[in-house]
Each structure stands twice: as C-alpha cells, then as structure tokens.
Chains A and B, each alone.
Chain A
C-alpha cells in the first residue's frame, strides 16, 4: 500500500512542511526518557454530512480535524499529549509533556523506514468528491420519495448521508512509518408512520469503506428506504413483548451485536491483562457451546470495521477468539500484547489523534453452522424471534450484557406469529453463549452501520452471525 502511504506522507508531512529530520527530532525527544515504547499519530480528517428532513435538504456540514498525538510508554504507564498544530515546536512541546511519564536518562535514535508490506483493503480515495453535490442530494431526495411512496401512513422521513476521508500516519519507536487513507461512507433513512393516532418509527441504513457509488449499486440505498418503512409498519401492529425467560432465535447479520457485547468486549486485551473481565485467565476453557466459532477479522475488503493497518501501525488480521466453544485468544494492542507476552493482533484503535489507542474490535462475527434457519424457528414451541436491534452494553466484569430488539416476533408452535414491541434482552455472556443450541447456515454481516463506544471513544465496527438459537434468555417485555 505504498500509494496510501505516499498520500499520507504528502498530507501529513509535506503539506505542513515536516521533514523526516523533524520527525526524528521529535521521536528522539520522546525516547530520551526511559521509555519502552513510543509513537506519534498524525491525522487529517475531512467529513461532510447532509440531512434531508421534511422533504427538503435542511442541513449540510463540512468538518476538518487535524493534529498529532504523542505517546510514551514505560512498563504499564502511559504519557500522552497532542497538538492540532502540525509544526515542529508544538510537536516537541507535546513530546516533552508525554515523556514526563518516565524518568529522564536514556537516549534512543531510530532511522525512519517506511512500511511497504501492508495490504490495501480499500482504495485510498476521497469519498467526499466521489459524487457531485447534485448527485448526492438527488440520491437523498430519491430515498425520501421512495419511502413516502411505500405507504400513505408514512408521516416523516429523514435521510442522512455522511462521507469521511481520514488520512493517518503513525511512526513508532522502531522508526517504522505506516500510513493509511480511510474512506468511510454511511447513509441512513428513518421514518415515522401513523395509524389511528398510534405512531411508530423505523430506520435502516448501511455503509462501507468505499466511494459513494456504493449506495447506487443494486438499488442499495433505495432498499434502506423500503426497509425503514417496512419496519415501522410492522411496529404499528406490535403487541406487548413477553417478560421472563424464553428461548430466543436471533436473525442473521446485525443481531450479531450479541457477540460484540456477550463476548467481544470481554476478550479485549486490556481488561484481561488487568484481570477485570469475566473471561480473564480462561484461555483454553469452554466458554461457549461447541457450535460456536467466533472471529474478529479486520481484513475484510471495504468493510466499515476493517483497517489495512491499525492505529499503531500493526497489520490487521483474522483472529480466532472462540473455536468450537473453546476460548482461543484475545484482541490486543501493542502495549497489552507486550505486557501479557502475547502476539499483537492489529486491534490497537483510537477515535482520533486526541485519544489514546486501546484494544478494540474490527468486524466480529460467528462462523455458520449446519441448520436451515426455518428448522431453527420450527424447533421452538414458545419463544421470541428477534431480527433487528438497537444498541447494546456490557458489564465486562460480571459478564452481564443487554441488547435492545426493535423488531421482534413471537414464535408459537414453531411458527412466527405476532410482532412484539421493542424489548431489552439481558444475559450473562459466557452463560448465554453456552446455551446456543442451534447455529444456522446463513451467515450474514451487518450492512455497515455499527459504531462501538468504549471509555468515551467511538470507532466504526462490523458484526455478523448466522441465525442462532439461545435456549433461554431473559426478555424484558411487559406481558407477564
């Protein structure tokens, strides 16, 4: 990916007038205390967003963020400072603040070497310019019209389009220089429908590390408009959700947020190094039913959660987290891998130059099993079939996790019957995973909509799974 690296060097070094000599000078300053590791992360991000509401293009915003974050690590101690001025005196000043974490008295000198051995999982393009403004707005108006044409009960339609162009360059204490240009596009449609005074909402969207023509392929974006209306209309008919322990069948794709919450966070290296996760010290143990194989794969081309190189300059990979129910490995950034004596996995991510990297997920999903999805539903006497979810949350220490269904149905005598109102599902990660008794052959990934929050930092992620059945889970409805 020399192309991405060269673009990143142009944007982040050449444009502000920083030479390799200047970079060395800043790195030398960081390394002049007794540090074990150090890095500098340069970033220039442009983002454009548009909102259509009430049938008109109501808002548009253009944002630019740029800066550099400097980090010095000594043992498990981290010093961090950043600047939004990409000039040598400010970088040296930040280096001075960051290195104060360690005692003075070491000299480090590293020659700078560019990494050219990295794959390029997406084209290093600027998606903001990938469609003309008129074409972007035309697309949004088309989705508005499409949603309204679906059903006369549609009262409100909001369409958003966001394109981001993120250029990063990271140099570590070994003098390795890695760069990446990360396009990211996202569209969303949300609607309000009304029938006899009852109002319900529905929303749908998608995205990718692609140019905006992604939304034009196979009427993809029109599909979001249709799907949002379909969901909202289903909710108009929804009855109270059941309350209590029930068998739960989760649909394929986005319901994989289950894995993100139930096991994903608990397998991040930082929590396991500190022994604060319900999965701490359990490598090699059975933590899920033997039907479950779960991976975190940062290498899927063009996907929202993918990265050609992580925010510490480590190549991303496909990491097996759970294989046939046995806990195999954690997701690591450099610091936690080093402190735990485990391999790096390319999961060191940060929201921006103004944030510290941490082990974070990329695309987390479960491999397909053998069952026909229909067979799975037919196996349930009385239960819940949940196909769409809002957000989730986990307490990694107790293992308790929640995720909120916003489209779900009752299963009665093996058949899908009435839609039910949104309800939160709660469980204990390792316990819920052990209760997975059927896994479908229909693996799907989500449509490119996930954002994960951890310690106040948001990063784009992906999830996926086949249809699966959990024998028992607490469903938080109101019908007892």
Chain B
C-alpha cells in the first residue's frame, strides 16, 4: 500500500469526525483500516489453496456527554460514513449516562509518534509463495520415514494500514506488515497416528526461520510424539516449554486488565504492590520495540504508549488500563487500550537441558488443550501432552493427561524461566519451571 492510501484513510477518519460533530456528538473517535494479503497452502507437494484477502473497515464511537454509541462497517464510501455515524448516534440515544465514559484526556495524546519500523512488505506472487511452502513441506516429509501424511504448509503475507483519530484533534496511522510460514504433518507407527506443527512469524520476511527449518521442526515435533501414553495420576514439578509459556503470562495479564479489576472478576484483585512472583521476576512491556510484532506508538485511544515494568522484584507494579477502566478504578490510563504490547519476562538463564536437569523427575509440557483457566478464581485445569522426564532426561512421550493447579500458586511456585526463548511474539519468554502441579492420567 502506498502513502497515497494512508492519505485516503486519514480523509475517511476526518470525514467521520466531522460528520459526528455535524450530527450533534459532543466528542467522537474513529478508526479505519485496510488490509491486503495472500495465503498459499501446499499439501503433499501440490498447491491446495490460493486465497487473496482484501479487507476494509471503519468504526466510529460518538459521545453525547456521557452517553456513547458505536457503529462499524466494511464499506468506506461517503454514504457509509454518514450512515455509520447516524447508526452510532442512534445507539447513543439509548445508552445510559456513564460518568466513566469518554475519550482519554487530551493531554495524554501521543504528540511525538516514533517510527517503529513495522512495515516491510514482501513482494511475492502466488507461485513464489507456493514454492516456499513446498520447500517447507518437503523438508518435513523428507525428514523421517514415519512422516506419512500432511496437513500442508502455508505461507501468509499481509500488509495493513490503519488510521485512528478523535475529536481532541489527534490523528495518527501507519502501515504494518506481517508474514508467517507454518507446517503441520502426521506420523504413524503401529496403530498410533500423531500430528504436530511448527511456525514462524515476523514483520520482516528475512527474519522468518527458513522454510527448511520450519519443516524439520514440524517433523521432529510430530515424530517425537509417537508412542505417547498416559501416566499415573501424580503430583510433580512441571516444565512448560517456551512456545507454550506465553499462555501463562497471558493469564496474568488478563487478570490485571481493567475490566477484570473493576468487575472484581480477577484472582489478582488488589494485588498492586504485592508479591505475586518470586523476587527475581521482572516483567516489562516495551511497546516501542523496533520491528516488534505488537509494537505501537500510541494505543487504541491515541494515548502515547510507554515502556514500563509490570512486575519488578516479583511485585506487581501496575495494571493494564484504558481510560474507561482507569476512571472506574480512580486511576490513570496506562496506555493499554488494545492490550499489552511486547511483554518480556526475565530469565534465570538456563538452557532447556539445564531446566530438565533441574526438573529432575516430572512433566515437560509441549501442548495444551482446552480453555480451563478461570481468571476469577485462578483455578487452572487444562489438557496436556508432552514428555515424562526422569533424572533430567526425557523418558517417553505422554498424552491424554491434564495439568491442574491455581495460577496464584503456580506464579509463586515459579522456580525458573529458561533462556530458550523461541518465538519473537507479543510475549517473549523462555520455558517455565513450576514447582508442583497435579497431573491427572490413569
């Protein structure tokens, strides 16, 4: 997409805000996005699907004093601008007076918008994309004789553009790119069939893992599961591998988000300033990380984002708030409308091998299933698969088990975070070693 397009989107945002004013709104905010992409899947060596994606959307929120209404559409035409604002205004006639409603305070608007280097388009046609996906799947299928089927390899690339503005006079927007390559294969042995996958994702095509590496990793993960069995129900230490550990940190972030707090629906209620992790744990958020997958110079309300510490010395330093939840709590927004951007937890420095030694005898979890974490109580119970570890060595693959505990206790019982970070995603972490959980099996 070109600079010209961003001008067009800015115009639509300005039109939306002008129209909102014209229709009587006392304040308003608007966002417009456009996205184009290509998805190509190769399966068993043949191109299976070519999908061209092309999405647009606009959204507007109007305020009449403390009452608000929102509307959105996929249509960017001038007609749609008028009608969407009218729909939002109609909604606002019916919503209640809400003292906490409104835009973020004007003095918090981002004034200096840093270029975070998030736009690296990949000039690639469907044939070239298929070639990369084929190379990836070939590497997986050729890696081990037990690989006997495939769900294919998919190359995905997309360019996005968005502009946000509000009636404080703030307007900002920028292009971003995201590319990914994934591969899933099956392996069989006896009457057992297993599937696993691997993927790589980045804003820069040249930062992706190579097609061959992704394929081989998918194959290795799949083959390693062959022969998996259940284990006896037990209590033991559990090591969550680095590619799953972000889920645990997301549970923590979910519990310190504004809506969970003001609704008192959080197991971390009133924990600000309290020790929630061992004292070596530091968790920081860096929304300005160059080329970061979740980086953003301003949040979804135009508020300047700032690097900060969420946890230091194991103590919770701040919540994750937008202006609404901040007002509900009598606090200040933390620039997190839209979520946490690039969280990273400190490491105790061990490699995966060293963590296995430290685990000694227990469970290495490599896959989680289901949605069994309750953020109100912290109760945690999820399906799992992985490996039984004895004396620091992987003994055999396990499946059809659950791991259960309480997130609060799991955080307190965090013994180590490895230096084996794998995915440069929005949450950057190594593997987590947790002192003790209940593993249910036979």
Show the binding face of A for B, using Cβ within 8 Å. Answer: 53, 56-67, 76-84, 94, 97-98, 100-101, 133-134, 137, 155-156, 158, 192, 194, 199-201, 241, 243-245, 274-276, 278, 354, 356, 390-393, 395, 397-398, 400-404, 406, 421-424, 426-428, 474-480
User: Could you say which residues of chain A place their CB within 8 Å of the CB of B49?
Assistant: 77-80, 101, 356
User: Could you say which residues of chain A place their CB within 8 Å of the CB of B374?
Assistant: 201, 406, 422
Number of contact residues on B: which range applies? 35 or more
Q: Is the CB of B91 within 8 A of A61?
A: yes
Interface residues as binary, B22-62 with A (CB distance below 8 Å gives 1, 0 otherwise)? 00000000000000000000010011111111111000000
From A61, A64, A356, contact of B70 by CB (8 A): A61
Q: Is the CB of B74 within 8 A of A66?
A: yes
B149 within 8 A of A: yes
B69 within 8 A of A: yes
> Known: A77-B48, A137-B94, A391-B370. Is A61-B265 also a contact (CB below 8 A)?
no
B440 within 8 A of A: yes
Chain B interface SS verdict (over half): strand
A-B contact pairs, 8 of them (CB 8 A): A60-B69, A60-B91, A66-B74, A243-B233, A274-B43, A391-B370, A397-B195, A478-B404
From A83, A158, A474, contact of B400 by CB (8 A): A474
Supply 15 further A-B pairs (C-beta < 8 A) apart from A59-B68, A426-B400, A476-B381.
Answer: A58-B101, A60-B94, A61-B72, A62-B70, A63-B72, A97-B52, A98-B52, A158-B263, A199-B376, A398-B192, A423-B381, A423-B402, A424-B370, A476-B404, A480-B233
Q: Is the CB of A404 within 8 A of B370?
A: yes
User: Could you say which residues of chain B place their CB within 8 Å of the CB of A426?
Assistant: 369-370, 383, 400-402, 440
From A64, A82, A84, A474, contact of B440 by CB (8 A): A474
From A101, A158, A400, A402, contact of B50 by CB (8 A): A101
Q: Is the CB of A156 within 8 A of B263?
A: yes
> Known: A426-B402, A428-B400. Is A398-B370 also a contact (CB below 8 A)?
no
**Nearest-CB residue, chain A, relative to B374:** A422
User: Could you say which residues of chain B place their CB within 8 Å of the CB of A478?
Assistant: 381, 404-406, 438
Shortest distance from the beta carbon of B30 to any chain A beta carbon, whole Å: 14
B75 within 8 A of A: yes
**Nearest-CB residue, chain B, relative to A84:** B74
Q: In the complex, A400→B374 CA distance in Å?
A: 22
User: Could you say which residues of chain B place their CB within 8 Å of the CB of A278?
Assistant: 193
User: Could you say which residues of chain A place their CB within 8 Å of the CB of B101?
Assistant: 58
Q: Is the CB of B404 within 8 A of A62?
A: no
User: Could you say which residues of chain B place their CB within 8 Å of the CB of A137?
Assistant: 94
Shortest distance from the beta carbon of A275 to any chain B beta carbon, whole Å: 6
Shortest distance from the beta carbon of A77 to any chain B beta carbon, whole Å: 6
Q: In the complex, A195→B56 CA distance in Å?
A: 47
Q: Is the CB of A398 within 8 A of B195?
A: yes
Q: Is the CB of B377 within 8 A of A199?
A: yes
User: Could you say which residues of chain A place their CB within 8 Å of the CB of B97?
Assistant: 56
Show the binding face of B for A, using Cβ within 8 Å. Answer: 43, 46-56, 68-75, 80, 84, 87-88, 90-98, 101, 126, 149, 151, 186, 192-195, 225, 228, 230, 233-235, 263-265, 269, 369-372, 374, 376-377, 379, 381-383, 385, 399-406, 438-442
9 closest A-B pairs by beta carbon, nearest first, are A476-B402, A402-B383, A56-B96, A402-B370, A397-B195, A60-B91, A244-B233, A243-B440, A424-B372
User: Could you say which residues of chain B place their CB within 8 Å of the CB of A133?
Assistant: 93-94
Chain A interface SS verdict (over half): strand
Q: Is the CB of A65 within 8 A of B73?
A: yes
Q: Is the CB of B193 within 8 A of A391?
A: no
Shortest distance from the beta carbon of A422 to any chain B beta carbon, whole Å: 6
Q: Is the CB of A423 within 8 A of B372?
A: yes
Q: Is the CB of B52 within 8 A of A81?
A: yes
> Known: A77-B49, A480-B438. Is A422-B372 also a contact (CB below 8 A)?
yes
User: Could you say which residues of chain A place their CB within 8 Å of the CB of B56?
Assistant: 84
User: Could you say which residues of chain B place their CB within 8 Å of the CB of A83?
Assistant: 54
Q: In the complex, A77→B50 CA distance in Å?
A: 8
Shortest distance from the beta carbon of A233 to any chain B beta carbon, whole Å: 14
User: Could you say which residues of chain B place their CB within 8 Å of the CB of A480?
Assistant: 233-235, 438
Q: In the complex, A403→B369 CA distance in Å?
A: 9
Q: In the complex, A354→B439 CA distance in Å?
A: 42
Q: Is the CB of B404 within 8 A of A477?
A: yes
**Nearest-CB residue, chain A, relative to B148:** A275
Q: Is the CB of A63 within 8 A of B71?
A: yes
